[in-house]
Structure 1
């Protein structure tokens, strides 16, 4: 639990990247925390998890951004899926319009049956 008025330490993206690099080179969490002045060693574990999930992009400050813009690959896949659905809908619509036009022309005798 947090205590009333407790301040949380914030760290820059550069420091987080440096900490990740040091951990990837084999340094222990305690050694990295001591070298970089990180008070809470548990933060390194969280940063490593974010790095494994999202790469360096995971360290960007996303506050105030729309969620679907955060993960660009997921956003692109969503747009590709929407594009495919719209293409199918357009094909169906064109086919339906063509069939209606042919049917109406047959009804008026412009096209022999």
Structure 2
């Protein structure tokens, strides 16, 4: 559970991919975390599990909205969905 004032770190797809590759080469979680400045070693375990299950697609962060999305396109999509 998040604590008040806690900050969360977001890692790029490339960083995740590099971390997985380093683990597959035999480096320890601690070594990878210090080399890539990853604050939570447990993240590596999660990334490895997702990589094994889904491949590189599992490393993509799908939680964020697309920045700069066109409001007109969003409105058109909503209208199309309501007509179905």
TM-score, structure 1 normalization: 0.54
- Which whole-Å CA distance do the structure 2 matches of 1:61 and 1:25 have between them? 24
| Structure number having the greater helix percentage | 1
Task: Provide the residue aligned with 1:21 in structure 2.
Answer: 21
Matched length:
65
The answer for unaligned runs of 5 or more in structure 1 is 66-113
What CA deviation, in whole Å up to 9, does each residue of 1:57-76 have, x standing for no partner?
A: 111122379xxxxxxxxxxx
Compare relative contact order (CA 8 Å, sep 6+) and give the higher one, 1 or 2: 2
Task: Provide the residue aligned with 1:4 in structure 2.
Answer: 4
CA RMSD of aligned residues (A): 1.6
**Structure 1 stretches (4+) deviating beyond 6 angstroms?**
none
TM-score, structure 2 normalization: 0.71
